[in-house]
Structures are given as C-alpha cells and as structure tokens.
Amino acid sequence: MKNLTMSNVSYRIVLQRAISILLTNLLQLRRYRRLNLDIKNLREMDDRMLADIGLRRLQIESAVRTGRTDYNA
C-alpha cells in the first residue's frame, strides 16, 4: 500500500512554489502601485509642465505603462 503522506522533499517543493507565487504577486502589486502613483503625479501637473517633459495629457497613462512617448496623440 502506498504511503499517503508527503515526504520532506515534497513539502519543500510545495513550499518553494508557494513562496515563489507569493513573491511574484507582491512584485506585481508593487509595480501596479508604483505605476498608479506615477500616473497620479503626472495628472497633477499642468499642461505646460507636461509639455516640458514631452507629454500631452492624453499620453500620460500610456507613456507610464509602456515607457513610450514617440507617438502622435
């Protein structure tokens, strides 16, 4: 009859996978919050300040998320 309990190796693999998933999710949350904070800060700037850094108001979110500002909007 097979042993239905997990070995120490199996526990270690499951634990490593769980930690990996948790860290990935935490990093994604950190990036999401950072992007949203950057978008908020740029939206608080007036149009002249945005023009000084090469942005139009309609480009803010896309520029923050993609890093690109070299398109026409």
DSSP 24-53: HHHHHHHHHHHHHHHHHHHHTS-HHHHHHT
Mean of pLDDT values over 43-59: 96
Q: Is the dihedral of CA 53, 56, 58, 63 positive or negative?
A: negative
pLDDT band at 4 (very low <50, low <70, confident <90, very high): low
Q: What predicted TM-score, i.e. pTM, was given to this entire model?
A: 0.70
pLDDT of 1: 46
Average predicted confidence (pLDDT) for the chain: 89
Q: What is the pLDDT of residues 19-34, one digit of tens each?
A: 999 999 999 999 999 9
